[in-house]
Structures are given as C-alpha cells and as structure tokens.
Structure 1
Amino acid sequence: MLYAIVIGIITATVAPLLHRTMGRFVVIPMALLPLLLFIYFCTFMPEVVGGHAVTQQHVWVPEVGINLQFRLDGLSLIFALLITFFGTLVMYYASGYLDGDPLLGNFYLYLTLFMTAMLGLVMSDNIFSLFIFWELTSISSYLLIGYKQAEKDSRVSAWQALLVTGLGGLALLGGLILLSISAGSYTFSGLLTQRADVLQHAFYVPAVVLTLIGCFTKSAQFPFHFWLPNAMAAPTPVSAYLHSVTMVKAGIYLIARLSPVLAGPDIWHYTLMTVGGITATLGAVLALQHTDLKAILAYTTISALGLMVTMIGIGTDPAMKAMLVFMTAHALYKGTLFLVTGCIDHCTGTRELSKLYRLGSHMKYSGLAASLAALSMAGVIPFIGFIGKELLYEASLSSYVLLAVTMLSGITFVAVAIVFGYRVFWRKGEDKTQLQHHAGFPLYFPPLVLAIGGLALGLLVHLVPTPLLQQGMRAILANPNAELKLSLWHGFTPVLGLSVLTLLLGYAVYKSLTVLHYRASTLKPLYRYGPNTLYHMMFEGFLHHAKAFILWLQDGYLRNYVMYIMFFFCGLLYFILWRDTPGIDFTNRIYQLHEIRLYELVVFFLVIAALIFLLGTRSRLTSIVVMGLVGYSAALFYILFGAPDVAATQLLIETLTVVIFVLLLHKLPAFTYLSHQFQKYKFIAISALFGILMTYVMLLVQQQAMSTSELKEYFGKTSYLEAHGRNIVNVILVDFRGLDTLGEITVLAVAALGIFSLLRLNPERGGKQ
C-alpha cells in the first residue's frame, strides 16, 4: 500500500514533463495509474470480504509514535475502489474537457496528487499520517479549484475552500490528539480497543467537538456548507471528482471510522442528527432556487451529505446500511450528472437551465447517461438509487422529524432528476439549443459508464455490492456478525408507499419550478446574513485590520523594529524570571561594590557620559564616533577582566564599524530627528529596561553558577588533546560547534548580500532610515 502512495506521488510529479513530451497522449499514463490501482485493490476483495483486515506498517518517526500504518478493511476498501474507479474515468474525461489546454500537465499533477492523498487518507491507521494526507487533500483541492487562476472567482473560491477546510483541519488535529491521549494509542484500531477509556475520559467532549468541526468543514455541513457551491468555479472534472465522490466524502469517512469509538453518548448522536438534518434540509431548499446546473448539483450534494451524516448519527444497523448504500448510489449518479453538465457547458457554452432545450437530438449518449443517472437519483427500480432511497426511509421511520427531512431531500432529488433526465434533453415544445461543437468520445463515455454502473449494481445487488458493503457496515458498527441483505423488492410495504409518494410529490415540485425560481428572488435579502456573507465580512475585516497593523508595525524605521524586538524579548524574559527563578541576595552584592577600582569607575563613567552625549547629538558623524568610544570602553573592560582575545575581537569590530560608517556616510539618507521628547524617553526606557534585565540575569547566573559540569570537564580535557588548541572558547566554536559557526557565517554572508542590495537601491535624499 505504501508503494501505491509512492507511485502516485512520483507520477504526479512527472505529469508536467510527460505532457511536454507526449502532448495529448499524456492521458494514457495518467489514466492507467488509477486503473492499475483499482485492479490492485480488487485483489484484496477476497480477503476483506472474508472478514480479514489487511494491515501494513512502515517505521517513520518511532520516537514520537508516528508511523506509516495502513489498514484495509471493508470501509476503507469501498472508498479506495471508488477513488480509483472514478479517478480513471475523470482522468480520461479531462483529456477531452481540457483538450489543448497548455496547463493540462499541471492539472494532472494536482489531480493525481489529490487522488493519492485520498488513498492515503482512507487507508491510514495512524492518526498523524491520516492528518498529513487530510491536509494534502486540502492543498491539492485548492490548486484544482483555483486552476483557472486568471479568473477572480476561481482564486476567491480556492482561498475560501482552503481556509475553511484548513482551519477545520487544525481543529481535527486537536481532536485526534485528545483522543490519542484518552486512549493511549495513536492508531484507530488502538482507539477501538480502548473505547471505554475514551468515553470516560475528561477529554471526550472537547475531542468530539474538535473532531466533528474538522469533519463538518470537509463534508460541507452547516454552517460550513457555503464553500462547496462556490467551489463550482473549478473545471467540471474537479467538481465531479472532488465535490461529489471523494473530498467531501472524506469527512463522512472519518465520522464513520470514529463512530464505533465515539458513539454512545447523546452529544455524538444528537449533534450528528441535528447538523445533518439542517444541512440536508437547507441543501434541498437552496437547490430548488437555482438555475445553474452545477449550482443545482452542488446543493443537492450538500443535501445528500447531510443525509449521510444523519444516518451515522442515528447509529442503528438499518441507518448504517442506508448510509453505505446511499453513498455508493450517490457517487455513481452524481458523478454522472456532473460530467454530463460539463459536457453540456463544453458543447453549448452555457449551464443556464433557461437556455437549454432538446439537447438529446444532438447529444444522444450524454442524454442517455443523464437519463439513467436521473432514474437512479429519483429512486426508480431497478437502480441502486432505489435501494438506497428505501433504506433511508426504513432508517428514518423511528422519528417523524427525520422522516420529514429524508422525504424533503428525496422530493428535491426527484425534481432535480426530472430536470436533468428529461427537461434538458428530451422535453418537446421549444427550439433546440444549438451546439458550438459535438461531444467527443472522452466527454460522453465516462458518464455513460457511471450511469450504467448504477443500473448494473441495482440488478446485481446480490452478487456485487452486498458482500463488500456488509464488511463496510461491520467496520462502522465494530460488529463482525452484522448482516446486510439487499434486495430490489420487499413487497408492498409502507417504505414502498413512501417511495411512490416521493416520486409524485417530486413531479409536482418539478412542475412548479418556474414559480419557485420566481419566488426565490424575494429570499435574496435573507442571504445577506448567511454564513457565506459572514465569511466574506470576516475575511475582509481581517485583511483590513492586518494591513493597518502592518502599516503601524512596519513603518520603515529601524529603531522602531529594534524597540519592538527588545520590548517583546524583555516581556518574555520578565515572565520567565517571575515564574521560575529564585530571587537574588543583593546583600553580598552591595559589599562587593567596595572592591571596585578607580580605573574601572573611570571607564564606567566614560561610557555613561558618552551615552548621555549620544542622546543629545544631532550629528550622524558625532554619533558614530561616540558609539565607537562606547565599543572601545567595552574592550577595555574585557582586558581588565582577563579576556584579551575577546577584547581584540571587539577592537577590530569597532574599528571596522567606524571606518565603514565614515566611508558610507555620504551614501546614507538624511538624518531623521525625533519630533517629540516622548519618543526619546520611550527609547531610553526600553534601553534601560533591557540593561536592567540583562544585569539581573548575569547576577543570577553568577549566583546559580555550577561548581562542576560534565561539559566543562570534557572540554578542558579534550580541547588540546583532540582539537590541538589551548584557547577552549575558540576550540568550542571552531571544532566542537563547527556546524553552528558555519551557520552563523552563512547568516552573516546572507545579511551582507542583503545590505549590498539595499545600498544599490540608491534611496532618495530625505528618505527613511
């Protein structure tokens, strides 16, 4: 399984190079990769269907428990097969949709990287590796949504998706860490064995809240649903793959994966049912108000995701069975309709419902695919969608509220299905929409395969999906004995009556769509207070205040930058000293003042006088000379206290500094004076605070000095014998800490290059310094 991830990353990396060398034929290796991976994962079906999980482990960072641990059970295998199967078709579809695009190689890079990240996510058993793949899906989806980087809508939508899912990812990381602390394990299988400890731990509630926030942002649950419709600015292959089949299902997958660990307390079930129910209802209502085909599909996707979360929240065997079957059916028919919508947009130049009529005469295969997918979406026998709809109703019978939510979504699905499967392609009475060009094989073949797949799974429900879905159900319920029996016909039951009623009401809603679209305009003022508007207000406010803060903080004056650094450093140092450090006995220090010699006092007062004179001077040349005097005085102190080597270094540095400043004096901008005395005293106060704190630290170090140290003894014994140097300080810097010294030299070299570049800018006279 690790090799599948590595091969995917390598293929993604070389995709632009393959495009430059192979041209349009780059689709061959790019579509072949997910196809081979699909075949590879199919080889695990006998073992997984037999009730065994395939596990692999590769050591990564064992010191902190971070390993690449993969686990392939029924749930993860279902997702892996969906990811690779849809990946194959979408890769091929993209070759026709983006034919002639000079950035097609980049598109394949992003899409392959996303597919690989999704595979890593669903197979990961270690929470840290899952989080890495989770964030990689956010990054790669950002690149895919913003693929049309020249368009503002694409850039804004990409930023929105990245920020919402990225912030949710941080919350998820916190929740997973709390869960690992509660269970004492970093793996999902380990969490399951310690379920009792997790449920009783004080971290349970915050862990659930943080984890669900991360999952809700990824799966577009209320109030984080707004990013998904905006992400429709991406090319249609992205919408079909990410936003109906894979990325938005990542949150569903993780909730289902954690359900056997976290299910039980009311906070888990009621939160999922409430949020999922609101999302399903909101998505259904909003879908009926739009006329853009991709927007309609986006909101029905939100409604479907809400139903899946609701089913997991119910938590019963019928609910989990309904979630899995409905998720599979939704992936097939929604992926088909997205691809058909892309084909319509590509061939006609529009996605507006009011401009599309009788396309079936020009696009027979696309119309056939749309009709088959629409029948599955509406829940018509013998499609897999019919089975999923009946299971949803069966799981919702325990609550009138849940039943109403499920029926509202079902009615909306029927109305939307009639729009796609009949009105756009086959309804008579209007003039045909003229095509700009006919759909090629790559544009109609992938959706046709998916649509036929929805029919085939319904007809062969006993043979193909049931054994694997049963193992997925057992993984969610953590019950190896759970049974899943699927059938197209259960007789004349109340569930069948609800299904027929949904079809009738859905048709009535379809006939009323014109009125609904007209009435929807009256609801637009309400959207000014929705989550999407709130996001943009917060984002714009953040940018405005960030700009104001930066303009205040980075005002172009070096002295202010130094002041901020010193003030912050002093604040941290004061906090550490106040919290952890014992006080200093100043009694002995006062007596030591009698030991000060006259020449030491002379040098001390010379420095003080120089500093006072420096504060009052208005000449840059005088300031340089006085600062040199302070440096030379410091060198005298080093000599007096027995550090001639340090003194020599200080003398050289001060001499070079003075000489360089004098040589460059005429190149510097005009001297800027402090306009207020308050500013001068402000800098004096900061300088005094820094000096006092550093003096206190030095006294504290002397008071707490270690009489013996292993390092002191080691350096004393080995400096001359191994490094052949008598000056221990120099030996430490050059030999024992040679890499550190090399790094410091590199930093100085980079700083010198930066200074040289600044000097070449030739600032105007009177500019800021």
Structure 2
Amino acid sequence: MDVAALTFLALGLPFVAALVAPVLTRFLGHNAAWLLAFAPAAIFVHFLRFVPEIADGEIVTGGYAWIPSFNVSFSWLIDGLSLTFALLISGIGALIVLYSGGYLKGHPHQGRFLSFILMFMGSMQGLVLSDSFLMLFVFWELTSITSFLLIGFDHGREAARRAALQALVVTGGGGLLLLAGLLILWNVSGITQLSLLLSFGAELKESPFYLAVLLLVLGGAFTKSAQFPFHFWLPNAMEAPTPVSAYLHSATMVKAGVYLLMRLNPVLGGTPEWQILLPLFGVATLVSGAALAVRQTDLKLMLAYTTMASLGLLVLLTGLGSPHAIEAAALYLVAHALFKGALFMVAGIIDHETGSRDLTRLGGLRSAMPLTFVIALAAALSMAGLPPFFGFLAKEEIYGALSGFDARSMAFAALAVLGNALMFAVAFAIALKPFVGPKVETPKQAHEAPVLLWLGPAILALKGLSIALMSGLAHRLISSPMSSAIAGEPRTVTISLVPHIGMPLLLSAATVLVGVVFYVNLDRLRAGMAVVLADIGWGPDRGFDQFIRGLLRIAVAVTRRVQSGKLDVYMTVVFVLVAAVLLATPVLYGELPRAPFFAADVPAHELAIMAIAVAGLVAVVLAADRLTAIVSLGIQGFAVAVIFLLYGAPDLSFTQFMIETLSVVVLALVMTRLRLSPSDHRPLHQKVPDSMIALACGLGFGLFLLRATGTPFDATLTDFYNLYSKSIAHGANVVNVIIVDFRGTDTLGEIAVVMTTGLAILSLVRLRAGSLKRGTDERQDAEERA
C-alpha cells in the first residue's frame, strides 16, 4: 500500500476505533484500552517514518479531489510543524487511552468516553495535517464538537454542562471568524491549499484585505488557544475527567490556535500589526494566567491556568518572529506538551488514589506513592526550566529571544521572568506540597497507582529528560524542521545543556531566584491574589453568563414580536412582502408593462365567462359567512378553467376543474369541523388595511403577468420538450411527460408539500375536536359535582 493510502487510513483510523470502542469496552472492560491504544500507536509509527525525510528538508503533500469544480481537495501537508504535532497527538494520545482505561475503570460509560477521546484525537490529527482550507475548517469545528462532548461527559452535573456549552460557544464563534478569514484569503489569492498559500505572503501583506484577514484569523486562534480575554473557558473545562484535561492541555485543542498562527506566520507574519497584536495579547495572557494559577488550590485548576500562561508565551514568541523567538516557540511547545501532560496525569493519580486534589488537604504522600512523586518531580523540573530537562533548553532560548537593551525587549523580558517565576512556584507546589511534610488524612487510603495510570506520565517525564540529553539528535530530527516550517525558511537549532554565559542565563537565574521566593511565600501570594480579584470583581467568566442571558432576552423579545402565534399576523406579513416585491421591483428597475390592448371584437361567450368571474369575485367580497365565500371563490376557479378550455388547453382546464372542486369540498369540510364564526366580525379599521393589501397583491400579480406576456415568446424550451418527449421519455402527451419525467423531482416536491399541508390540517382538526371534547367533559363533570 502506498504512502498516500496509508496516510488516508491514518487520518480515518481514530474514527474507526471510536466506533468499536463501546463494543470492546462492553466485553473487555478497562482492558479494552490496551487494544484501542494500538490505533494511535500505529498512527505514531506511521508518521515516525516521515521523520528522516522531513529532517532533510522535504515536504510531503498528498490527497484526493473532494469537490473538483471548486478546487477543493481532501489533502494533507506534512512538514516539520505538522509532523511534530502529529507525533505529539498520536504518541500522547496512545498514553491517554491507556490512562483512561485505568482512571475510569468500572465507570458505566467508559466505552462512550473512549469513543469521544478517539474522535477528539482524529479531529485534531486531521486539523494539523490539513492542507486544504475546507478540510482545515471541518476538522477545526470537529475539535470544538468533540471537546464539547468530553467536557460535558459528566452531564448530570450543571457545572459540566455549563463548561461544555461555554467552550462550544467561544471556540465555535471563533471558528466562524476563521471561516470568514479563510474565505477572504481564498477570494484574494484564488488559492485553497496552505502549501500553495505559503508563497503568497508578499502579495497578501500588500492587499487592502490583509488587516481583515489578520483580525479574523486571530479571532479564531485566540478563542481556540484561550488568549486573554477569551481565556475563561479553559479553566472551566477542568470539569471534564482528568484524561481529557491532560490531553486537551498537552497536545491537542488548546494548541490548535497556536498551530494556526505558526502555520500562517510566513504568510501573515512580520508586519507591524502582527508584531504588535500577538505580543500584546500573548504577554497579557502569560502574566494573567500565571497570576491566576497562584490563586488556586485545586491541582487541575493550577495546571489549567499555567497552560493559559504557556499559550500566551507561545503567542508572544510567534508574534516577535525573530530567529531565536521562532526556535524558542518550537522548543517550548514540545517541552510543554511533555511536562504538562505528565503533571495533569499526576494530578489525576493523586485525585484517584486519595479522593482529593485540594493542595491544602494533601501532604506526606511520598511514602505511599513514591513512583508518582518521582514522576511529578521530574515533570516539575522541566516546567521550571531547570537542567537537565528539555524545559531548560526552551527557557534559555526564550530568554535569548528576549535579550535586548531596547525598551520593548526589556519590558517583555521582565514580564516573561515574572510569568515564568510564578509558573516555577506552581510547578514545585504541585510536585512537592502533596508529597512532603507531615502526612494529611485524605478521603481515601493513599497507595501507588496501577500501571495504566503511571505508565503515561512516566514515559512523558522520561522523554523530557532523554531528548534534552540527546539534544543534538532531537534538534536535527524535530526542532530544526519545525522551526524552519514556522519561519518559512531553513533554520538550525543548536542550543544544548552546556550553559552559555550571557543575558539568557542571567534571566534564567533571576527566574529561579524569584520563583523560589514565590514558592516560599505561596500562601501569602495566594491571599494577596484573592484580595486583588475580589477588588476587581467582574471578570470575563461572569461576563459570559451576562452575555448569554442578554442574548436570550433579546431572542425572547424578538420571537415574541415576530412569532406572535396569530395566524392573521403571519398572513399579513407574507402578503405585504409579496406585494412589496411585485410592485417595487418593476418601479425601481423601470420594468412596468405597457397598457394592455382590448380588442373590440371579443366573442360574447368570452365576455360572459369574464362576467361570471367578476360576479364570483363580488360574491366572495359580499358573502355573509365563510362557507358562502368559499363556494363563491369556486366560481372564479371554474370560470378560469373554462377560459383554459376555450384557448385549447383541455389538460390544464381539467386540472383546474379538479383543483377547484377538491378545494371547495375540503375547505367546506374543514370549516364545518372547526366551527369557526359564521361571519367576519372585524371592525372597519382592520378591513381597510387588509383590503388595501389584497388590492396591492392583485395589482402586483396583474402587472407581473402583463409584463411576462408582453415579452417576445421564446420557443427554445417548447422545441426541446417537443423534440425529446417522444424519443427520451416515450410519451406522446407532452404535458404529462413534462410533469412526470422532466419535472419529476419538482412534482414529487409539490406532492410532499400537499401531503405536509394535509397532515397539518388533520392535526388542527383533531386538536380542535379534542379541545371541544375536553371542554364538554369538563362541563359535564362540573354539573355532576354541582
């Protein structure tokens, strides 16, 4: 099987595994996780085969035509950036599936959860490998939908439902902004594939639509990657089970926005707008996320807010766009995926084995959970940026990018040191405080976790150490190709564990020093942040609730106004719009018909038929009750049918006779069953406007018919039907052939409309009859009680 076919199968394999997950779990229980983990493991092995080729500077594209007429394809792009994401998603995904098997052991809906997590994995895998715009958007929205299912997995709790809805609204709204940006890109460039768009950067930056594209793309990226002030959905997403949190924060959805910015950096980056907006929002997200993390005592919330801070740091570095900044972003993205995935799983282990994840209610767990403690400490060392872990390399490269003596660089460096120092304190608070100190009584008797729980974080923590020790190989295979893809030109990453005396090392030392101070005074810092947040009061999270409530109020008000529940209002609106369209269009565009010519020698029988039609109209208007009006209305229909017959259209005349007869019968029966008022009790001030609307509609249709019949007759369609009705449809009656064969689908639609209308009328009749019967029964019961 060729590479293209295997890649196509790799993109679809998670969704196939999601289909069989509930069945396997039903028969195998939590052991089904071992089998299901083979799907992401196989994907990881498949993409691992591309590493040497991509490391040599190659780019692999492929796919299949999806909608050829619109130049839309199901295509993929594999370069250093997408390959790194694909390996992280599939590799960490396999560990998450195993972890889920242990974490949700015995849960009645474990199969459904594994199905959701595999669909989530497939969605993110498709997103980062997409080459076509449409494929990118489809998978982008799939990540929002599957994350909604995962966050709201425990749907019995209101908090989970609210968090899921919040994430869907925020990221779904951002997805619509992204769609608009992609459509403008398509319109400006005529390109529908990212691999071709990368060479269109210079033209796009000179386009008057550049700013619109940038703002729309940033709207999609910032909402997806939880940039301030759109960050509030991310910590609330911690209502999801811990496997979701670990996967969401390490390798998948929250990094989708960062991926998009990195992917489009060669196209949109390097402009003043890019270098102002991204660093500004990035540094605001970094500092606010790190400060909010200090405020928390829940292990998952602490990690969630540090993820927010890390995403801000990645956006800051991508926005700066310098060689060191791009390389730092590549290194930190990989480092963060490894240590954050490990720490989230450690938090889940603590919660699973002790029954609590409140930092103030944990302590002395080192003797009961020694392996978990070692894993947590290793991941925290990488998060803190200490050697010999990969996080140290990333932090040194970050400070190398921020080392400068201009005011802008110094401000960013100071804020980066502050944010990293706060994350340093949080990392060691999670790694040390639950395990050291006096033993604290926990809701459950603490003990070491089973292999399915500790295997994943142990591998990730060990990986953070091993790739740092083998940094040369890691840079050649991963870091350099990824940096080259982000920059749009060849880049070589060379940083190693050997300390480099200079400003980056001094900033790193300052981070450690300040971080230690923050850690020692963590309780005071937490109390201070609580006071600050209390003084601030209102925040984006509360604002979201206010926005939703306001939106619902507006929706209710609009619905009450336009959906009053009164049929006469609906009919009035419809006919007013019909009259407006029929009268305004010919007046505005100068298409009024010429005055009709009345022949002097009209036969007497035709005049008689006309007179009958007018008499029927007068009878309808003057009818004292609705039944008389319906019968009188049939007079007009029969008169029109006779006119059709006189002018040589017997088929049409017969159809008209049948329609009028059935209409009169059906309407008369309905009026009888519904027992409507026998006469029109409307006051004059209501009759006059209705009469004016009726006259306007009649005048409009009359003008339209005069204009249509006044144009030269085009016999093209007539000749077509006459020519092919016999030879193709094998029918001599052209009218029947048109209705049954050439317009068969149209006729089927008309039949469906008639059937739907009949069902609606039947429902109304039964509803009315049931209401009358209930009313009669209630009166009888009241009389008996009396």
Q: Which amino acid aligns with 1:176?
A: L
Identify the residue that residue 695 of structure 1 maps to in structure 2.
702
Identify the residue that residue 457 of structure 2 maps to in structure 1.
447
Identify the residue that residue 157 of structure 1 maps to in structure 2.
163
The structure-2 alpha-carbon separation of the partners of 1:411 and 1:715, relative to structure 1 and needing over 3 Å to count, comes to: same
Moved more, 540-549 or 629-638: 629-638
Identify the residue that residue 559 of structure 1 maps to in structure 2.
568
Identify the residue that residue 386 of structure 2 maps to in structure 1.
380
Is 1:216 matched with 2:225? no
Identify the residue that residue 345 of structure 1 maps to in structure 2.
351
Query: 1-side partners of 2:746 and 2:692: how far apart?
Result: 34
1:450 CA displacement: 1.3
Query: 1-side partners of 2:535 and 2:519: how far apart?
Result: 24
The structure-2 alpha-carbon separation of the partners of 1:136 and 1:676, relative to structure 1 and needing over 3 Å to count, comes to: farther
Conserved 8 A contact 1:674-1:680: no
The structure-2 alpha-carbon separation of the partners of 1:78 and 1:576, relative to structure 1 and needing over 3 Å to count, comes to: farther
Query: 2-side partners of 1:173 and 1:512: how far apart?
Result: 46
Identify the residue that residue 491 of structure 1 maps to in structure 2.
500
User: For residues 502-545 of structure 1, what are the alpha-carbon distances to aligned partners after superposition, in whole Å with 9 as ceiling and x for unaligned?
Assistant: 11211211222222332333334555533222222121111122
Is 1:179 matched with 2:185? yes
1:650 CA displacement: 2.6
Give the match's secondary structure for 1:70. strand
Identify the residue that residue 191 of structure 1 maps to in structure 2.
197
User: For residues 656-684 of structure 1, what are the alpha-carbon distances to aligned partners after superposition, in whole Å with 9 as ceiling and x for unaligned?
Assistant: 23333444445426549766554444443
The structure-2 alpha-carbon separation of the partners of 1:465 and 1:318, relative to structure 1 and needing over 3 Å to count, comes to: same
User: For residues 109-130 of structure 1, what are the alpha-carbon distances to aligned partners after superposition, in whole Å with 9 as ceiling and x for unaligned?
Assistant: 2211111111111111111111
Identify the residue that residue 440 of structure 2 maps to in structure 1.
431
Identify the residue that residue 283 of structure 1 maps to in structure 2.
289
Match of 2:714 among 677, 684, 707: 707
Query: 2-side partners of 1:692 and 1:528: how far apart?
Result: 62
User: For residues 193-236 of structure 1, what are the alpha-carbon distances to aligned partners after superposition, in whole Å with 9 as ceiling and x for unaligned?
Assistant: 22222122221111111111111111111221111111111111
The structure-2 alpha-carbon separation of the partners of 1:314 and 1:691, relative to structure 1 and needing over 3 Å to count, comes to: same
Identify the residue that residue 462 of structure 1 maps to in structure 2.
472
Identify the residue that residue 410 of structure 2 maps to in structure 1.
400
Query: 2-side partners of 1:48 and 1:601: how far apart?
Result: 83
Give the match's secondary structure for 2:435. coil
The structure-2 alpha-carbon separation of the partners of 1:759 and 1:350, relative to structure 1 and needing over 3 Å to count, comes to: farther
Query: 2-side partners of 1:729 and 1:97: how far apart?
Result: 69
Query: 1-side partners of 2:445 and 2:762: how far apart?
Result: 58
Is 1:586 matched with 2:573? no
The structure-2 alpha-carbon separation of the partners of 1:742 and 1:107, relative to structure 1 and needing over 3 Å to count, comes to: same
1:54 CA displacement: 1.4
Query: 2-side partners of 1:465 and 1:18: how far apart?
Result: 40
Moved more, 652-661 or 387-396: 652-661
Conserved 8 A contact 1:359-1:432: no
Identify the residue that residue 422 of structure 1 maps to in structure 2.
432
- Please give the TM-score of this superposition, normalised by the length of structure 1: 0.93
Identify the residue that residue 421 of structure 2 maps to in structure 1.
411
The structure-2 alpha-carbon separation of the partners of 1:599 and 1:67, relative to structure 1 and needing over 3 Å to count, comes to: same
1:417 CA displacement: 0.9
Query: 1-side partners of 2:379 and 2:293: how far apart?
Result: 18
Match of 1:506 among 508, 515, 526: 515
Conserved 8 A contact 2:250-2:338: no
Give the match's secondary structure for 1:707. coil
1:167 CA displacement: 1.4
Gaps of 5+ in 1: none
User: For residues 561-593 of structure 1, what are the alpha-carbon distances to aligned partners after superposition, in whole Å with 9 as ceiling and x for unaligned?
Assistant: 3333344455556665566x4422434x26569
Query: 2-side partners of 1:477 and 1:446: how far apart?
Result: 32
Q: Which amino acid aligns with 2:544?
A: Y
Is 1:321 matched with 2:327? yes
The structure-2 alpha-carbon separation of the partners of 1:33 and 1:505, relative to structure 1 and needing over 3 Å to count, comes to: same
Identify the residue that residue 471 of structure 1 maps to in structure 2.
481
Is 1:542 matched with 2:557? no
Identify the residue that residue 25 of structure 2 maps to in structure 1.
19
The size of the alignment, in residue pairs, is 760
Query: 1-side partners of 2:91 and 2:165: how far apart?
Result: 29
Q: Which amino acid aligns with 2:468?
A: G
Is 1:168 matched with 2:168? no
Give the match's secondary structure for 2:295. coil
Conserved 8 A contact 2:339-2:460: yes
1:497 CA displacement: 2.0
Identify the residue that residue 528 of structure 2 maps to in structure 1.
519
Conserved 8 A contact 2:201-2:267: yes
Moved more, 378-387 or 758-767: 758-767
Is 1:252 matched with 2:261? no
Query: 1-side partners of 2:109 and 2:671: how far apart?
Result: 52
Q: Which amino acid aligns with 2:592?
A: I
Give the match's secondary structure for 1:33. helix
Gaps of 5+ in 2: 1-6, 776-786
The structure-2 alpha-carbon separation of the partners of 1:661 and 1:712, relative to structure 1 and needing over 3 Å to count, comes to: closer
User: For residues 384-411 of structure 1, what are the alpha-carbon distances to aligned partners after superposition, in whole Å with 9 as ceiling and x for unaligned?
Assistant: 1111111111111231111022111111
Conserved 8 A contact 2:616-2:633: no
The structure-2 alpha-carbon separation of the partners of 1:585 and 1:744, relative to structure 1 and needing over 3 Å to count, comes to: closer
The structure-2 alpha-carbon separation of the partners of 1:521 and 1:2, relative to structure 1 and needing over 3 Å to count, comes to: same
Query: 2-side partners of 1:475 and 1:443: how far apart?
Result: 35
Q: Which amino acid aligns with 1:695?
A: G
Is 1:65 matched with 2:71? yes
1:103 CA displacement: 2.0
The structure-2 alpha-carbon separation of the partners of 1:204 and 1:418, relative to structure 1 and needing over 3 Å to count, comes to: same
The structure-2 alpha-carbon separation of the partners of 1:4 and 1:638, relative to structure 1 and needing over 3 Å to count, comes to: same
1:326 CA displacement: 0.7
Conserved 8 A contact 2:152-2:164: yes
Conserved 8 A contact 1:638-1:647: yes
Query: 2-side partners of 1:578 and 1:511: how far apart?
Result: 80
Is 1:738 matched with 2:744? yes
Give the match's secondary structure for 1:598. helix
Q: CA RMSD in A?
A: 2.6
Query: 1-side partners of 2:143 and 2:472: how far apart?
Result: 34
The structure-2 alpha-carbon separation of the partners of 1:525 and 1:192, relative to structure 1 and needing over 3 Å to count, comes to: same
Give the match's secondary structure for 1:57. strand
- Please give the TM-score of this superposition, normalised by the length of structure 2: 0.91
Conserved 8 A contact 1:369-1:451: yes
Q: Which amino acid aligns with 1:690?
A: C
1:262 CA displacement: 1.4
1:340 CA displacement: 1.4
Query: 1-side partners of 2:342 and 2:154: how far apart?
Result: 23
Query: 1-side partners of 2:240 and 2:260: how far apart?
Result: 25
Moved more, 530-539 or 78-87: 530-539
Is 1:129 matched with 2:135? yes
Conserved 8 A contact 2:475-2:493: no
Moved more, 261-270 or 80-89: 261-270
Give the match's secondary structure for 1:147. coil
Give the fraction of aligned pairs with identical amino acids, expressed as a percent: 39
The 5-angstrom pairing of residues 107-122 of structure 1 reads 107-122=113-128
Conserved 8 A contact 2:249-2:340: no
User: For residues 25-54 of structure 1, what are the alpha-carbon distances to aligned partners after superposition, in whole Å with 9 as ceiling and x for unaligned?
Assistant: 321332110011111111111111111111
Q: Which amino acid aligns with 1:435?
A: K
Conserved 8 A contact 1:466-1:486: no
Conserved 8 A contact 1:321-1:473: yes
Query: 1-side partners of 2:753 and 2:50: how far apart?
Result: 53
